Amino acid sequence: MIGRLNHVAIAVPDLAAASAQYADTLGAKVGAPQDEPDHGVTVVFIELPNTKIELLYPLGDDSPINGFLEKNPAGGIHHICYEVEDILAARDKLKDSGARVLGSGEPKIGAHGKPVLFLHPKDFNGTLVELEQI
Amino acid sequence: MIGRLNHVAIAVPDLAAASAQYADTLGAKVGAPQDEPDHGVTVVFIELPNTKIELLYPLGDDSPINGFLEKNPAGGIHHICYEVEDILAARDKLKDSGARVLGSGEPKIGAHGKPVLFLHPKDFNGTLVELEQI
C-alpha cells in the first residue's frame, strides 16, 4: 500500500540557522521559506536525490509546531510521510486494522497541494505518520 | 556534501508487531530480523521504492536502544542516515563548523558494512544524524 517516503519533517527552533546548516555545512540543496498559513507552519524544503527533508517552523499562535517545540526546544523529527495511491482506501484499511486517523478522518489538502491524513503516533511505534495521495 | 537519505531508523518496543504492521497493514516489503551484535540491535529493513525504514530493537543489556525505549515506551524515530562519498572529509568539515561527532570521532563499520559516524543531536535540530560512506 505505501509507496515512496515523500519526506521527513523536522521541527526547528531557528529556521534561518537550520537552513544555513543544511546548505553550508551539509552542502544540500535548500529552498526558500514558504508560509503555509492553512497549516500554521513556515516550511523550507531540502531536496535530496531520493526524497525531501521538510524543516518546519511555527507560523502563528495556533501552530501545531508550538507544542512540539515547547517539549523539544532543540527541535526534533516531527513526522514522516509515506505516499499512497488512494488515500481513502488506505484510510479505510487502516481504520479496519484499529489504527486511529487524526482529526475528522477526512483528508485535507497538504503543503504540496495533495490530499493528506495523519495517523496517531501511538498506533505506529511512537511515530507521527502522514499519508499523502500522489 | 550529503547525498541520498539512506534510511530512517525507528526504535520499536515489539519487533514482531511492528514488522507485521508494516507488512500487513501498510503493505510494505519487510525483511527478516537480523541480529547486529556489534551494534546491540536487532534490525528489520523495510524496503520502500526510494529508501529504507530500519526498525530497531534492543539486543543485549548494553543496547543503545534500551535508554531510548525507556524514555519513549511506545517507540519513536531514533535517527536518520545521510549518505556521503568521503566520510573523513565530511567529518572534518563538520568538526570545523563546530558540530560534535559522537564517540571516538573515528568511523565504525555500520549495519550495512560501510563506515559510519553519528553526529550530536543538539547540533542538528534535536535530530540524531548518521553519516554513511557509500
At B24, which CATH number? Answer: 3.10.180.10
Looking at residue A66, what is its pLDDT? 96
- Looking at residue B112, its pLDDT comes to 79
Q: What's chain A's length in residues?
A: 134
Task: Please tell me which of the candidates B12, B25, B72 has its beta carbon nearest to residue A94.
Answer: B25
pLDDT score, position A14: 97
Which pLDDT score is estimated for A38? 86
pLDDT of residue A82: 98
- The x, y and z cell numbers of residue A83, run together, are 505516499
- CA A20 to chain B, closest CA, distance in angstroms equals 11
For residue B88, pLDDT beyond 80: yes
Q: What's the number of CA atoms in the CB half-sphere (13 Å) around residue A22? A: 26
Indicate the number of domains in chain A: 1
Residue type present at position B113:
G
Mean pLDDT of A75-87: 97
Residue A58: per-residue pLDDT: 98
Q: Is the pLDDT assigned to residue B99 strictly greater than 80?
A: yes
Chain A contact present for B5, CB below 8 A: yes
pLDDT tens figures, B10-65: 999 999 999 999 999 999 999 999 999 988 999 999 999 999 999 999 999 999 99
Mean pLDDT of B82-95: 96
Q: Extract long-range pairs of B113-122: CB within 8 Å, 24+ residues apart.
A: B115/B87, B116/B81, B116/B87, B117/B87, B117/B90, B117/B91, B118/B79, B119/B94, B121/A74, B122/A74
Per-residue pLDDT, averaged over A66-89, amounts to 97
Which of A10, A21, A26, A120 to probe the B interface (max B CBs under 10 A)?
Answer: A26
The three-class DSSP label of residue A23 is helix
Work out the average pLDDT over A94-122: 92
| pLDDT, position A10 | 98
Residue range of the domain that includes A110: 5-133
What integer is the mean pLDDT of B117-122?
Answer: 95
The 3-state DSSP class for residue B71 equals helix
pLDDT for residue A42: 97
* Interface contact B10-A127, CB threshold 8 A: yes
Give yes or no for residue A78 having a pLDDT over 80. yes
